[in-house]
Amino acid sequence: MRLIIRVVTALVLTVAVLLGAVLLLPGEKIAQLAADQVEAQTGRKLEIGGKARFTFWPTLGVKADAVTLANADWAGPEPMLSAERLNIGVAAADLLQGKVRVTEISAILPHLNLATREDGIGNWVFGPGQDGQAGQSGSASDSAALPLRIEAVELTGASLRYAAHGEDPVELKNIDLSLLWPDPAGTVAVKATLRPAGEPVQVDAEIGTFAAFLAGEVSSIGASVTAPGGKGRFDGHADISGEASGRLTFGAEDALQTGVALGVFLPDAFAQKAVFAADVTFTRDGRLSLRDLSGGLGGNSLTGAADVEFKERPRITAQLQGGALDFSGQAAGAGGAGRSGGAAAPGWPKDTIDASALGLADAAVELSFDSLDTGSVKLGPSKLNLALDRSRAVLKFLPAAMFGGQVQGQVVANNRNGFSVGGKLNFNGIRLERALGETAGYSRLNGEALGELEFLGSGSSVDAIMRSLSGKGWLEADQGFFTGFDLEQLMRSGGNGGSTVFDQLTASYTIEGGNLSNQDLLVLLKGFRADGKGRIGLGARDLDYLFTPQIVRAGSDQVLTIPVRITGPWADPSIRPDLSQALQTRIDDVEQEAKDRLRQKLGEELNLETEIAPEQDLNDVIKERIEQEARDQLLRLLGGD
């Protein structure tokens, strides 16, 4: 028993002496030793500008104020890390032997100044050669020489400035981060809380063989990002330069809420369930490839592949396939006079068109789908090609199932020097009531048609574009009808309303200054035909058009013609017989009959040997006859024959 007491007493005294020795070590001395070790392991100078003192609990080590860690030579004079207070934990066993080994670092209100150089190497890559010129270092062997070895890092209330080479800096504030690296040859666990837009975004990551990762080798990585409304996951491989490959998945019950939390602007239509998955590969030169891609928003889904090249203006290449796509909800509530046929519609929207999105990226995208509802236009099974180059977009229909038929051609939107739209389209089998109703809000003409349209317009609003339209085209339709008037009823009684059914319709037209002009409309109806000519105001949304129907009376060769004039706004036009035109036709006929009878009578009275042609003027004929009679009488007086 005495032996046990003596042994325990000796141990206690020994520990007390050792602890006393540790406590007697000056904090500044330990801090300097720790700073020397950090510099030896990182190649960067650690400076302590404030007070340094020894701590025993909760961490054995040093607490230092006003601490900075130098930046890479190529990254500028600002320190890579600065902190108001830095706690440096040390290994107790090594400290008892007079050595200092840094095991833990925690910082309060630190600021990280991160950057990458042209070859993709970041200023957080430590080791010999990393501060040299780009292209002269960065290999795994270089950075493996002096790997940083700290068992735990914790940052509280950190701020971050990240400047990728050639890009605008990104700044984040109020970041919390912890890193645990218990096994030098094992995995590091990272937890971070970011607040890019105020709401917390949690990042949980694991990096296998972290020492090799710091040395520039490719390591396995798994990372989860959890934000309000959604969560993403990446599993694959990456290196410290940013190159990565693996599977990326994302799901959100409310994509808009998640986007807001991540600081990403999204339209209100994204306030619904969203999913995304793809095999991704990202290279050091800023190229991202997405394979086996699938994504969905609400009830819409797309599959395919895409490539993105990140540079001053990103370049996107994609081949996508979709099922039944419905984006009508995105356009709901936007209004638009083009979809309203009521009298309340004042005209085309005059709001300024923001076409700046055309300049955000260049693109070559092929999209095929079973159906598409944009809210204003509905398409069936179609294949589209979108080419976007320096604020000029060309959308090709290859073909597109629209308005009950097929449309081929292209539409161009150009925002290089003011905004303009144009196109050339061929169509076949389209329903006129759908085409005119969905694009122009006019649905009084019904039938199946084929034809061609070329157009060009410019301006800062829909109203300005419609009033500037120019172009040309032609149209043919079989078996259709006009609503709002019955030509036969109009010719009989002058009434309005009803419908006019036709067997065939043909027309050509030109467009200038927002007005469509037509001079050769031909409508064949049962029992009669109708010609037409006039103006359709595409910009003003009005009509000034004249129909001239002709009816052959049963049992006679007489033709009854009563023109019908249509004037006024599209929404409520005035449709009435034009009696002045009808009477003028009859007056012309009576006048011609009178002229014919007069010619016949004069011919008989003047004993003309030749008939008077219809195109000859009666006054000229009479004058010539009198002159001839005078010459004959003069010759007889003089004794001539």
Q: How does residue 308 score in pLDDT terms, banded at 50, 70 and 90?
A: very high
Yes or no: say if 358 and 388 are a contact pair by the CB < 8 Å rule: yes
pLDDT computed for residue 629 by the predictor: 57
242-251, 284-293, 528-537, 542-551: segment of lowest average pLDDT: 542-551
Query: Measuring CA to CA, which residue among 366, 373, 417, 426 is closest to residue 392?
Result: 417
pLDDT computed for residue 611 by the predictor: 53
pLDDT computed for residue 135 by the predictor: 40
92-96, 191-195, 417-421: segment of lowest average pLDDT: 92-96
In sequence order, what DSSP letters do the residues of 510-547 get, joined into one string?
A: EEETTEEEEEEEEEEETTEEEEEEEEEETTTTEEEEEE
Give the chain's mean pLDDT: 78
Q: Is the pLDDT reported for residue 107 higher than 70?
A: yes
pLDDT computed for residue 248 by the predictor: 96
How far apart are alpha carbons 300 and 328 in whole angstroms?
Answer: 11
Q: How does residue 9 score in pLDDT terms, banded at 50, 70 and 90?
A: very low
Q: Interior CA angle at 409 toward 407 and 415, to 5°? A: 120
72-76, 125-129, 454-458: segment of lowest average pLDDT: 125-129
Q: Is the pLDDT reported for residue 19 higher than 50?
A: no
Half-sphere exposure of 520 (CA within 13 A, CB side): 9
169-178, 323-332, 627-636: segment of lowest average pLDDT: 627-636
Q: How does residue 361 score in pLDDT terms, banded at 50, 70 and 90?
A: very high
pLDDT computed for residue 520 by the predictor: 93
Mean pLDDT of 601-615: 55
Instruction: Give residue-wise pLDDT tens across range 400-439.
Output: 998 888 999 999 999 999 999 999 999 998 888 888 877 7
Residue whose entry in the numeric block shows the structure tokens 């990104």:
170
pLDDT computed for residue 75 by the predictor: 86
pLDDT computed for residue 24 by the predictor: 42
What letter represents residue 332's amino acid? Answer: A
- What does R_g of the chain's alpha carbons equal in angstroms? 44
Q: How does residue 344 score in pLDDT terms, banded at 50, 70 and 90?
A: very low
pLDDT computed for residue 223 by the predictor: 95
Mean pLDDT of 210-229: 89
344-353, 355-364, 580-589: segment of lowest average pLDDT: 580-589
- Check residues 189 and 184 and name the one with the higher pLDDT: 189
Cα 66 → chain centroid: 48
pLDDT computed for residue 141 by the predictor: 38
Phi, psi dihedrals of residue 117, rounded to the nearest 5°: -100, -175
Phi, psi dihedrals of residue 132, rounded to the nearest 5°: -80, -165
Query: Measuring CA to CA, which residue among 71, 154, 150 is closest to residue 116?
Result: 71
- Check residues 92 and 10 and name the one with the higher pLDDT: 92
Give, in order, the Cα–Cα distances in Å from 528 to each of 438, 446, 475, 482, 525: 31, 19, 21, 15, 5
Yes or no: say if 76 and 44 are a contact pair by the CB < 8 Å rule: no
- Check residues 493 and 186 and name the one with the higher pLDDT: 186
How far apart are alpha carbons 116 and 301 in whole angstroms?
Answer: 37
pLDDT computed for residue 11 by the predictor: 39
What letter represents residue 212's amino acid? Answer: A
Distance in Å from the first CA to the final CA of the chain = 185
Question: How many helices (H) and strands (E) would you count in the chain?
Answer: 12, 32
Q: How does residue 264 score in pLDDT terms, banded at 50, 70 and 90?
A: confident
Q: Is the pLDDT reported for residue 146 higher than 50?
A: no
188-202, 379-393, 620-634: segment of lowest average pLDDT: 620-634
- Check residues 33 and 182 and name the one with the higher pLDDT: 182
Q: Is the pLDDT reported for residue 2 higher than 50?
A: no
Yes or no: say if 258 and 201 are a contact pair by the CB < 8 Å rule: no
Instruction: Give residue-wise pLDDT tens across range 555-593.
Output: 555 566 778 888 999 888 887 776 555 545 555 555 566
DSSP H helices in 526-605: 579-605
Mean pLDDT of 64-68: 85
Other beta carbons within 10 Å of 54: 19
Yes or no: say if 269 and 330 are a contact pair by the CB < 8 Å rule: yes
pLDDT computed for residue 57 by the predictor: 61
- What percent of the chain is predicted at pLDDT more than 70? 71
pLDDT computed for residue 436 by the predictor: 80
Query: Measuring CA to CA, which residue among 468, 475, 379 is closest to residue 421?
Result: 468
pLDDT computed for residue 426 by the predictor: 94
- Check residues 510 and 626 and name the one with the higher pLDDT: 510
Give, in order, the Cα–Cα distances in Å from 530 to each of 87, 477, 490, 537: 95, 14, 13, 21
175 membership: H or E segment, kind and range: strand 170-180
The pTM of this model reads: 0.69
Instruction: Give residue-wise pLDDT tens across range 481-494.
Output: 777 666 656 555 55
How does DSSP classify residue 556? S
How far apart are alpha carbons 27 and 597 in whole angstroms?
Answer: 133
Buried b (16+ CB within 10 A) or exposed e, 264-291: eeeeebbbbbbebbbebbbeeebebbbe
Q: Is the pLDDT reported for residue 122 higher than 90?
A: no
Give, in order, the Cα–Cα distances in Å from 355 to each of 274, 301, 391, 412, 459: 26, 26, 8, 13, 11
pLDDT computed for residue 334 by the predictor: 44
pLDDT computed for residue 136 by the predictor: 41
pLDDT computed for residue 1 by the predictor: 43
Query: Measuring CA to CA, which residue among 113, 138, 110, 112 is closest to residue 125?
Result: 138
Mean pLDDT of 127-150: 45
Instruction: Give residue-wise pLDDT tens across range 503-522.
Output: 888 999 999 999 999 999 99
Query: Measuring CA to CA, which residue among 260, 282, 287 is closest to residue 271?
Result: 260
What letter represents residue 196's amino acid? Answer: P
